[in-house]
Amino acid sequence: MTNEMQAADFMGDDLIRIVTRPVPDPGPGEVLLRVAANALCGSDFKLWHAGAQFIAGHEIAGHVSAPGHPLHDRLCVVYIPMHCGTCQACAAGNTQSCLTVSSLIGWNRDGGYAEYVAVPENCLLPVPDDIPADLAPLLLDTIGTSAHALREAARHLATDGQRVLVTGAGPVGLGVVLAAQALGHDRIEVAEPNPARAAIAADFGARIVPVGDTENRYDLIVECSGAHPARNHAIAQILPKGVIVLVGENAAPWTIIEDKVFRRKDFVLLRTFYFPKGDFDANVELLRANRDRYARLVDDAFPLAALPDKFATFAQGRSIKPVLSFREAR
Ligand SMILES: [Zn+2]
Ligand SMILES: [Zn+2]
């Protein structure tokens, strides 16, 4: 192994440059990972537009490269929230919301758009042998985030046999459709303006409803778009005693008008983030149970040199969950 690697530098202004960087030197309690795949994510658009201080990439699968380590050569995915393991949140299992460490790999330190990444050992989630590297990143945002949102919602739902609306059918929204079916919901409707994405949701068995519809009422609304109008529509459309889960992200301030639609109804407005590390085994089972459908979301795989062009294609909404894949390079 040389001590240099190729990595993507998100320069800002929608430009990515492939650069040579030193192979990272893992700190205490960290290991080096040889990246096998890093899935592209819509949340990376922020860095694509504004530039990244660190190497981006937060849906990482790779092989541990630490001779003598018990996980050496093992394929792992990277749990991106760094966590102490001992604070009140971690002790309660909420490792995604650690009270003492708040850094995210790929955001606040170097991530996976590179040949190697150093990660804390407690962020390694070993992947079973039957799951290939290109699908493994789905266990994170696509399955982990969506299934966690549904499990949290289930704790608050007063009814069963619910009518479910998913707003936004990107990777997380489509992940919600698949996880919701696996968790027993059978009346799932989807609002999504991109026809190709809506078509996939329909193939997965969801009923497509118009974006901006305010007629239908739901027991559970999983808001995956981050769009403020979608959030406001959700407040109008949620049935009394229903649950709205906000999963989509939006950095702009969101104003809730406290009119009678908002005020005169009992409902739960829930925010969820990522997933607790303890969910991982259950999430592996979700992938196994619906592998062909999940595999359909990974609609492109390419080497690092193609990332600048492929990221632009992804930004146009022309692929769902493409992966930067190092499999051909080795
Ligand atoms: Zn992501
Ligand atoms: Zn903690």
Q: Which pLDDT tens digit goes with each residue over 6-35?
A: 999 999 999 999 999 999 999 999 999 999
Question: Amino acid identity, residue 315?
Answer: A
The structure's pTM equals 0.95
Ligand at shortest distance from the CA of 100: 2
For the domain made up of 4-135+298-325, give the CATH fold: Quinone Oxidoreductase; Chain A, domain 1 (3.90.180)
C-alpha–C-alpha distance, residues 145 and 136, integer Å: 14
Ligand 2 center from residue 309 Cα (angstroms): 38
Ligand 1 center from residue 161 Cα (angstroms): 30
Ligand 1 center from residue 297 Cα (angstroms): 14
Does the pLDDT value for residue 1 go beyond 70? Answer: no
Considering only the C-alpha atoms of the chain, give the largest distance between any 2 of them, rounded to a whole number of Å: 65
C-alpha–C-alpha distance, residues 162 and 185, integer Å: 7
Ligand 1 center from residue 33 Cα (angstroms): 19
Nearest residue to 59 (alpha-carbon basis) of 246, 271, 275:
275
pLDDT digits (tens, 9 = 90+) for 239-292: 999 999 999 999 899 999 999 999 999 999 999 999 999 999 999 999 999 999
For the domain made up of 145-271, give the CATH fold: Rossmann fold (3.40.50)
Within a 10 A sphere around the Cβ of 318, how many other Cβ atoms?
A: 14
Domain limits, the chain = 4-135+298-325, 145-271
Mean pLDDT (the chain) is 95
Ligand at shortest distance from the CA of 122: 2
Q: What is the DSSP string of 232-246?
A: HHHHHHEEEEEEEEE
Ligand 2 center from residue 226 Cα (angstroms): 27
Banded pLDDT at 318 (limits 50, 70, 90): confident
CB 311 within 8 A of CB 40: yes
Nearest residue to 137 (alpha-carbon basis) of 208, 189, 220, 79:
79
Q: What angle do CA 306, 310, 313 make, to 5 degrees?
A: 155
- Report residue 163: phi and psi, to 5°: -90, 125
